[in-house]
Structure 1
Amino acid sequence: MENIKVTVITVCYNAYNTIENTITSIINQDYRNIEFIVIDGNSKDKTIDIVQKYKNRINKIISEPDKGIYDAMNKGIALATGDYCIFMNSGDSFFDYKSVSSAVPFLTENSDIVSGIATLENQIWYPAKESELSLSFFVTKSLNHQATFIKTTLLKKIGYDSSLKIVADSIFFFKILILGNGSYKAIPVNIAKCEDSGMSGDREASYKELQMAIKTLLPQRMSKDVDFIHYYCNPAVIKIGNLLHKCKWLKKIWHFYKRHQKVR
């Protein structure tokens, strides 16, 4: 089974306090066919000193200025030679030393995107079921990037939109799974431990960028659909809506109103 090569890409910048934990979680995996690439954004602290400490266990190291996290990820993708890539950026780590070896049997089924379980500081992020993947899913949620294996050929073909600051990974998934009808598998494997903080933790900014990016990929006539999903597809509104839908007297009033409306 080790004929499947997995490329792990780590992007870091001024991450002296967290990079070593990330590196050790990768080099201590019991799966042997791993390519490990580190892309450092020309850190000003001692991050690169920690990286160089493990240079014999890292296949490729780049330390140079970049245009942001997704530009750095694209640099890693350009160097990748594995069948699948997974991103484990500084501050994140594999769940345990068997995370990759436990996922590889599912990679043999050749799905475009394979997503597992991520553990955050305050929650467990389970992968979406295939039946859940829709426009509304990606307007309101996403897959956990650190717990997801992606076919390298797709990453090289499409890459991440480096003009985006927060949600380029979500937009990549949207392009592959919704617009491209790519294949997907959710797996019951603990893959990653992730930080809750970071750029993607700014929920308001994240939603705003996500909506705008999705709208640019869809016909203009669907812009209102994206707005509707954003405003009304949340647990509180759905619960209230379901209660109102079951209210018989409210239905009668609505039907009476509709019957007496003028047809345009």
Structure 2
Amino acid sequence: MDTPIISVITVCYNVASTIEKTMLSVLNQTYENVEYIIIDGNSTDGTVDIIKKYADRLAYWVSESDSGIYDAMNKGILRATGKFLIFMNAGDQFFNEKVLDKCLPYFLQEIDIISGIGYLSGQKWIPAKVTDLSVAFFLKKSLNHQATFINRKLFQKNLYRTNLKIAGDSIFFFQALIMDNASYVDIPVKIALCEKPGLSGQEKESFAELQISIKEILPNRMVSDVDFLIKYYNPAVRMIGGWLYKMHFLKRILRFIRTNRRTR
């Protein structure tokens, strides 16, 4: 059975204290068809020396200035040749050495986005179900970037937006899954360990950038809907609304109101 190439991309800057454990979690995978790419932002703290230590096991690496994290990620994407890409940045690790082997059945399918289980500062992050993916979902949440594999063909249409500082990965997922109807599957595989949130952990700033960007993508006629969802939508309201909608007497009342409106 031919196994597809999986491209793992690490972007980093001045992370000498954490880069080696990230690299080893990739290099020690039992899945053999891995293409490992490192994009360093011209570190000055010894990070590059650690990268050089394993240079013969890397498909590509570079240390040069960039215009921010999403510019660095785009550099890695343009170098990648794998069927699926995943970003494992400095401080992040695969859950164990068998992660990619466990994901092989999904790699062999024609899926656009595969999202598994991540752990963020010890807290379990369960991937969204396909039925959860909506405009409302992305206004409040996103997928775990480090626990999500992205089919490289999606990047042929859109790279990460370099004008964004925090929410570039969330906006990419929104564009792909909501606007372009990319295929998606959530899988019961533990993928990643993340010690602490990166830029996307700045919740207030991240949500503000996310909401502005979503409004820019959607048609103008939907901006008021977005404002409504931001203000009122939450899982509890959705659940209660679902229960109420299923109650037959409420359906009869709604049907009566609609019928009266039409006959006036």
TM over 0.5: yes
Query: Does the Cα contact within 8 Å between 2:118 and 2:192 map onto a contact in 1?
Result: yes
Per the TM alignment, residue 196 of structure 1 is displaced from its structure 2 partner at its CA by 2.7
- 1:109-154 Cα deviation digits (max 9, x unpaired): 2100001000111410111111111110111111100001101121
The within-5 A match list for 1:34-45 is 34-45=34-45
The within-5 A match list for 1:1-264 is 1-234=1-234, 238=237
State the AA in 1 paired with 2:106.
F
In 1: Cα distance, 2:212 partner to 2:91 partner: 28
The gaps in structure 2 that reach 5 residues or longer are 251-256, 258-264
Query: Does the Cα contact within 8 Å between 2:3 and 2:108 map onto a contact in 1?
Result: no
- Structure 1 range deviating more: 88-97 or 113-122: 113-122
State the AA in 1 paired with 2:15.
A
The gaps in structure 1 that reach 5 residues or longer are 252-257, 259-264
Describe the shift of the 1:22–1:240 C-alpha distance in structure 2 as closer, same or farther (beyond 3 A): closer
Describe the shift of the 1:230–1:71 C-alpha distance in structure 2 as closer, same or farther (beyond 3 A): same
SS at match of 1:158: coil
Describe the shift of the 1:127–1:144 C-alpha distance in structure 2 as closer, same or farther (beyond 3 A): same
State the AA in 1 paired with 2:84.
Y
Give the number of aligned pairs: 246
In 2: Cα distance, 1:197 partner to 1:34 partner: 26
SS at match of 2:157: helix
SS at match of 1:211: helix
State the AA in 1 paired with 2:13.
Y
State the AA in 2 paired with 1:89.
N
State the AA in 2 paired with 1:86.
I
Identity between Structure 1 and Structure 2 (%) = 52
State the AA in 1 paired with 2:89.
N
Cα root mean square deviation, aligned: 2.0
1:262 aligns to what?
none
Per the TM alignment, residue 57 of structure 1 is displaced from its structure 2 partner at its CA by 1.2
Query: Does the Cα contact within 8 Å between 1:9 and 1:39 map onto a contact in 2?
Result: yes
Query: Does the Cα contact within 8 Å between 2:122 and 2:195 map onto a contact in 1?
Result: no
In 2: Cα distance, 1:92 partner to 1:68 partner: 18
Could you state the TM-score of these two structures normalised by the residue count of structure 1? 0.88
- 1:138-195 Cα deviation digits (max 9, x unpaired): 1111110000110112123311001100111111111111100110010110000013
Query: Does the Cα contact within 8 Å between 2:161 and 2:168 map onto a contact in 1?
Result: yes
